[in-house]
Amino acid sequence: MSAHNPSVETPAQQIKRLERELADERDRNLILNTMIDIYDKDYGVNLRKKSVTTVSGNSGKTDK
């Protein structure tokens, strides 16, 4: 019962839990980046570039 309550975890248990959570997030990040790469390749767009320019380029936006 104490394994589910972070306040009673030993430091070693906390480290193991955090390492598992970090590994899970790395896997999630890899999956999402792979999905974006596939989308970019299949549809000929660059989602990463588009999202950056959308956020940073709003003040001087020019349309062609």
The overall average pLDDT reported for the chain is 81
In a domain, 47, yes or no: yes
Mean pLDDT computed over 43-51: 77
Question: What is residue 52's predicted lDDT score, i.e. its pLDDT?
Answer: 47
For residue 6, tell me if it sits in a domain. no
> 43: domain range?
20-52
Where b means 16+ CB within 10 Å and e means fewer, 1-35 reads eeeeeeeebeeeeeeeeeeeeeeeeeeeeeeeeee
- Please indicate, yes or no, if residue 9 is contained in any of the structural domains: no
Contact (Cβ atoms closer than 8 angstroms) between residue 36 and residue 48: yes
Is residue 15 domain-resident? no
Domain presence at residue 25: yes
Inside any domain, residue 31: yes
The answer as to whether 13 is a domain residue is no
Q: pTM (2 decimals)?
A: 0.59
- Residue 60: inside a domain, yes or no? no
Q: What is the pLDDT of residues 20-41, one digit of tens each?
A: 999 999 999 999 999 999 999 9
